[in-house]
Structure 1
Amino acid sequence: MSEADGYFNEAVAADYDTSSAEMFQPEVVGPTVDLLAELAGDGRALELGVGTGRIALPLARRGVPVCGIDMSHAMTSRLRAKPGGEAVDVTIGDFATTRVPGAFALVYLVFNTINNLTTQDAQVECFRNAAAHLAPGGSFVIEVGVPELRLLPPGQTAVPFQIDATRWAFDTYDVATQGLTSHYVTLVDGRPQYRSYPFRYVWPSELDLMARLAGLRLRHRWEGWTRSPFTHESRQHVSVWEKPAS
């Protein structure tokens, strides 16, 4: 594994689009890009954790100038190889701290990417980095799941989220540290392969406090990209924080 690429190395990048195929469906990508394009308006957008370009590429096709930051050479090489990949200006680095030139109307993190930062300090720095890139009046958007702790009975730490004939996947939680590890067991040619990835889960209220520390204020919180209301039963949220205009 390349240290620079972290957990998103060549082996992961090679089948990322296939293993996450449901996230590339038009009914998922379309509403996401619709809302992000609206928030970007006539300005530029910056994606933190741009990956293989699932959202950056269709957003650029809408006419929004898009830049991206990502630590993985393997993932971003897939982005550059796709049609239109040259339109997305990618910088290799840690999206919690890496700066790119200019100001942006929109900075965004999708598909639980904020959880890839495995300490609270790193997540706080991410908010500060986003705020530093935003022009006054700009928006910072995060899509992330609500921690599934309600599914854990006393003494249990694991929650399965995928079970089929060739793939088993489950999350394990450490509530003392807000640690979350996703585990995958996949049958390949009849032989099991195991992978695991560490994350840090984060609560909506905790994100709001991080935003306040960065000088941002909550503008919207929805259950998803179609702007359905966020409730106590919601399993994910799309939150929009705003940098004050003055």
Structure 2
Amino acid sequence: MIDHNNLEEYQEPMNYDLEFGGETGKYDFFLELAKSHPENVLELACGTGLTTIYLAEAGIQITGVDIVEPMLAYARHKAKDLPVEFIEADARTFESDQRFSMIYLTGNAFQAFLSDEDQIALLQTVYAHLEPGGIFVFEMRNPEGNDLSDEEEESWGTFVDTDGVTVKVSGTQTYDAGKQIMHWVTIRDWGHRKTISRIACRFTDNKALQHLLTSHGFIVEHQYANWDKTPFEPSSPLVISVCRKA
């Protein structure tokens, strides 16, 4: 079941890009992989197409899928005549006649699949749409490398919005250890107005993740701690998994 609070974070796509865009190290990581598997690439949970469009600008034939129409509308606006198609669909139930040489998620989107059933449905979608030997790539926050304790409101930083206003970002976190789900509340303060959004993310242990992947037809070929391919260690805050369809 979708936690519809998760969608609150994605209603202002232009400001979303200004707050979260510019991760060129990540974009280059996916571009390098895509160039090795150039036939047809799929990004699930693509949002405004930050990574999708970067790959399309480099000549990669790519499709982006997302469930939030305002994000897709802005992605299509930015894409113009690039070799990219954007489709509104749920990654758990997406169906296409196309088969892809590479499928990926980013922005820690894997963590938005909150239950075992959600994770399995996602992996079944990926497996069904990958060509034999195709690769599946995604990242998530590693529970062993992150502070999962409950926290009262604290400053998380700032960004400059579409009108040139510096927006202060703060938030709280509350962790449900039984369900492995972190609940974040994000507060954005423009000075003259405030917005509040909620998001829930599941923290999956890496050992459980590897078992989940191998039991659903994937070989885990590499795990990295960051986008420059530093090898993953148990205490790394991030785990980037590069898998191949068995």
TM class, shorter-length: 0.7 to 0.9
Residue in 2 aligned with 1:203?
A: 205
Residue in 1 aligned with 2:41?
A: 45
Q: Is the 8 A contact 2:146 2:237 kept in 1?
A: no
1:98 maps onto 2:91 in alignment: no
CA distance in 1, matches of 2:146, 2:139: 20
Change (3 A) 1:116 1:193: same
Residue in 2 aligned with 1:33?
A: 31
Task: Report how far residue 107 of structure 1 moved.
Answer: 0.5
TM-score by length of 1: 0.85
Any idea what the Cα deviations from partners look like across 1:133-159, whole Å, max 9, x if unmatched? 11111001011111267635xxx4238
Task: Report how far residue 63 of structure 1 moved.
Answer: 1.9
The residue identity in structure 2 corresponding to 1:236 is L
The residue identity in structure 2 corresponding to 1:26 is T
Any idea what the Cα deviations from partners look like across 1:141-178, whole Å, max 9, x if unmatched? 011111267635xxx42386715682213332111111
Q: Is the 8 A contact 2:45 2:64 kept in 1?
A: yes
3-state secondary structure, aligned to 1:91: strand
Where does 1:70-81 land on structure 2 (aligned, <5 Å)? Answer: 70-81=66-77
CA distance in 2, matches of 1:90, 1:149: 34
Where does 1:223-242 land on structure 2 (aligned, <5 Å)? Answer: 223-242=225-244
The residue identity in structure 1 corresponding to 2:18 is T
TM-score by length of 2: 0.85
Change (3 A) 1:4 1:202: closer
Q: Aligned match of 1:125 in 118, 121, 127?
A: 121
Task: Report how far residue 87 of structure 1 moved.
Answer: 2.5
CA distance in 2, matches of 1:138, 1:64: 16
Q: Is the 8 A contact 1:5 1:73 kept in 2?
A: no
3-state secondary structure, aligned to 2:199: strand
Where does 1:140-155 land on structure 2 (aligned, <5 Å)? Answer: 140-147=136-143, 151-152=147-148
Residue in 1 aligned with 2:163?
A: none
Structure 1: runs of 5 or more not aligned: none
3-state secondary structure, aligned to 1:183: strand
Which shifted more, 4-13 or 191-200? 4-13
CA distance in 1, matches of 2:200, 2:11: 17
Number of matched residues? Answer: 235
Any idea what the Cα deviations from partners look like across 1:40-97, whole Å, max 9, x if unmatched? 2x32111010111111111112222101211111000010001446532122111122
1:158 maps onto 2:151 in alignment: yes
Where does 1:48-59 land on structure 2 (aligned, <5 Å)? Answer: 48-59=44-55
Which shifted more, 200-209 or 103-112? 200-209
Task: Report how far residue 20 of structure 1 moved.
Answer: 1.2
Identity %, equivalent residues = 23
The residue identity in structure 1 corresponding to 2:13 is A
CA distance in 2, matches of 1:25, 1:142: 15
Structure 2: runs of 5 or more not aligned: 159-166
Where does 1:102-117 land on structure 2 (aligned, <5 Å)? Answer: 102-117=98-113
Residue in 1 aligned with 2:161?
A: none
Task: Report how far residue 184 of structure 1 moved.
Answer: 1.0
The residue identity in structure 2 corresponding to 1:141 is V
The residue identity in structure 1 corresponding to 2:107 is F
The residue identity in structure 2 corresponding to 1:128 is Q
Change (3 A) 1:171 1:35: farther
3-state secondary structure, aligned to 1:199: strand
Change (3 A) 1:74 1:85: farther
3-state secondary structure, aligned to 2:11: helix
